[in-house]
A = this chain, B = another copy of it.
Amino acid sequence: MALRAPGDTDWMAAAAGLARRGRPASAPNPNVGCLIVKADQVVARGWTQAGGRPHGEAVALAAAGVAARGATAYVTLEPCVHASARGPACSDLLIRAGVARVVVAVQDPDPRTDGAGIARLRAAGIEVTVDVLPADARAAMAPWWTRQTMGRPFVTLKLATSLDGRIAPADGSSRWITGDRARAHGHLERASHEAILVGRGTFEADAPRLDVRLPGLEDRSPKKFVLTRGAAPEGWTAVASPDAIEGVDSLLVEGGAGAAAAFLAADRVDRLLLYRAPILIGDGKAALGDIGLTRIAAAHGRWRLADSRMLGSDRLDVYERVRTI
């Protein structure tokens, strides 16, 4: 194993930031970030493009040109070894460009690569360092990583509630709990997921409004699932349970209380977006139905606060599921 060099973690953190730019458009390909550095200067940056090609390394190497010779490439995922009709293998591209060193955050769990990319680079005389900020890289590529290793999408649950955890007054009136900025942020989240899901009731109340309504992002409206045992209307896919979601890397569960509870009860929620308006409702519609909790002790230690910010007078708290596997 090659030793780490000073600055490796800083450069890799930047590469992980680049990787995030590929989400969700790179799906079903991994959103890889690539940074090419020479003499402590950034030479070029790249990330996987929409539809999955070109790969992040190909983008960065094309931008670097001859400056890649002798440089270090930071990649969030092991470079691939399989050439396809859609493009050459990234490990071959790196060898051809003459980079001196490749720093890899995580080895590719895809059986077509899984160590073979690192071996090919080393066989070509390139110094390779592996396992630099692997957790950051996995987080940046969480949707792809989750599907690749667990066979299911990375699921974000959105809840918009009053301070006392209600989503509507008892009469069910009014969908507007949070303010403009929180709603705009919700639309941005919608645009950054490959698919959304709602329960049957929310579908019936809100279906026409479940698009991305942000200027310039209208074409980023995601695929649409409805959780129901019945049939799905045109443009929607019906799924009978949280385990039945197929074909997407990232899913945003938008509501309502029954759908949210079903995903939590199945432990299929990886990230929780909690928008909270500074109001009290009292008797009203609860944010969640039964999530199968029997002992309060079992509720603790499952969620870690990852981000918190004010959106106008509303607060957004982002929690991540703590998984010990």
Contact = CB atoms under 8 A, between A and B. Distances in A.
Given A282-B288, A289-B282, A296 B165 contact: no
Interface residues of A, number: 51
Contact of A302 (B159, B169, B279): B279
Given A169-B296, A173-B296, A283-B291, A278 B161 contact: no
Contacts of A265: 282
A169 B288 CA distance: 12
**How many copies of this kind of chain does the complex include?**
2
A293 B305 contact: no
Interface in A264-318: 264-265, 272, 274, 277-284, 286-297, 299-300, 302-305, 308, 310, 313, 315, 317
A323 B96 CA distance: 71
Interface in A111-160: 159
A199 to B, nearest CB: 15
B272 A282 contact: no
B299 A280 contact: yes
Contact of A165 (B173, B286, B317): B286
Given A165-B165, A296-B174, A299-B162, A283 B278 contact: no
A188 interface: no
Contact of A280 (B162, B166, B277, B303): B303
A104 interface: no
A168 B297 CA distance: 11
Give 5 closest A-B pairs by Cβ, nearest first: A165-B165, A282-B291, A279-B299, A174-B296, A283-B290
Interface of A: 159, 161-166, 168-170, 173-174, 176-177, 261, 264-265, 272, 274, 277-284, 286-297, 299-300, 302-305, 308, 310, 313, 315, 317, 319
